[in-house]
Structure 1
Amino acid sequence: MELFAVPDLPEIRDGDDLAAMIDERVDLREDDVIVVASTVVSKAEGRVFDLDDFPASERAEAIADRLAEIAGEEKDPRFAQAVIEESTELITEAPFLLTATRFGHIGVNAGIDRSNVPGGDLLLLPERPSESAERIREGLGADRVVVSDTCGRPFRHGQRGVAIGWAGMPASRDWRGERDRDGREMGVTVQNVIDELASAANLVAGEGDGGTPVVVVRDWAFGDHDGSDNHFREPEGDFVRQALRQWTFDG
Structure 2
Amino acid sequence: MELFAVPDLPEIREGDDLAAMIGDRVDLRDDDVVVVASTVVSKAEGRVFDLSEFPASPRAEKVADRLAAIAGEEKDPRFAQAVIEESTELIMEAPFLLTATRFGHIGVNAGIDRSNVPGGDLLLLPERPSESAERIREGLAADRVVVSDTCGRPFRHGQRGVAIGWAGMPASRDWRGERDRDGREMGVTVQNVIDELASAANLVAGEGAGGTPVVVVRDWEFGDHDGSDNHFREVEGDFVRQALREWTFQE
The C-alpha deviation readout for 1:123-149, integer Å capped at 9, x for no partner, is: 000000000000000000000000000
Aligned length: 251
CA drift at 1:249: 0.2
Q: Is the 8 A contact 1:161 1:195 kept in 2?
A: yes
- Report the counterpart of residue 246 of structure 1 in structure 2: 246
- Report the counterpart of residue 224 of structure 1 in structure 2: 224
The C-alpha deviation readout for 1:103-138, integer Å capped at 9, x for no partner, is: 000000000000000000000000000000000000
The C-alpha deviation readout for 1:73-121, integer Å capped at 9, x for no partner, is: 0000000000000000000000000000000000000000000000000
The normalised TM-score by structure 2 is: 1.00
**Structure 1, 205-214 or 50-59: larger mean CA deviation:** 205-214
* In structure 1, distance between residues paired with 2:231 and 2:136: 20
User: SS state of the match for residue 208, structure 2?
Assistant: coil
Q: Is the 8 A contact 1:84 1:90 kept in 2?
A: yes
The C-alpha deviation readout for 1:123-179, integer Å capped at 9, x for no partner, is: 000000000000000000000000000000000000000000000000000000000
CA drift at 1:211: 3.6
* In structure 1, distance between residues paired with 2:20 and 2:159: 30
- Report the counterpart of residue 47 of structure 2 in structure 1: 47
User: SS state of the match for residue 134, structure 1?
Assistant: helix
The C-alpha deviation readout for 1:1-39, integer Å capped at 9, x for no partner, is: 000000000000000000000000000000000000000
Unaligned runs of 5+ in 2: none
* In structure 1, distance between residues paired with 2:210 and 2:148: 16
The C-alpha deviation readout for 1:160-203, integer Å capped at 9, x for no partner, is: 00000000000000000000000000000000000000000000
User: SS state of the match for residue 191, structure 2?
Assistant: strand
The C-alpha deviation readout for 1:42-92, integer Å capped at 9, x for no partner, is: 000000000000000000000000000000000000000000000000000
CA drift at 1:210: 1.6
* In structure 2, distance between residues paired with 1:63 and 1:46: 27
The normalised TM-score by structure 1 is: 1.00
* In structure 2, distance between residues paired with 1:38 and 1:126: 7
* In structure 1, distance between residues paired with 2:160 and 2:199: 6
* In structure 2, distance between residues paired with 1:171 and 1:114: 29
**Is it true that 1:120 corresponds to 2:107 in the alignment?**
no
* In structure 2, distance between residues paired with 1:209 and 1:175: 39
* In structure 1, distance between residues paired with 2:161 and 2:210: 15
Unaligned runs of 5+ in 1: none
Q: Is the 8 A contact 1:129 1:164 kept in 2?
A: yes
User: SS state of the match for residue 215, structure 2?
Assistant: strand
Q: Is the 8 A contact 1:9 1:211 kept in 2?
A: no
* In structure 1, distance between residues paired with 2:76 and 2:100: 21
User: SS state of the match for residue 209, structure 1?
Assistant: helix
CA RMSD of aligned residues (A): 0.3
* In structure 2, distance between residues paired with 1:102 and 1:237: 18
User: SS state of the match for residue 196, structure 1?
Assistant: helix
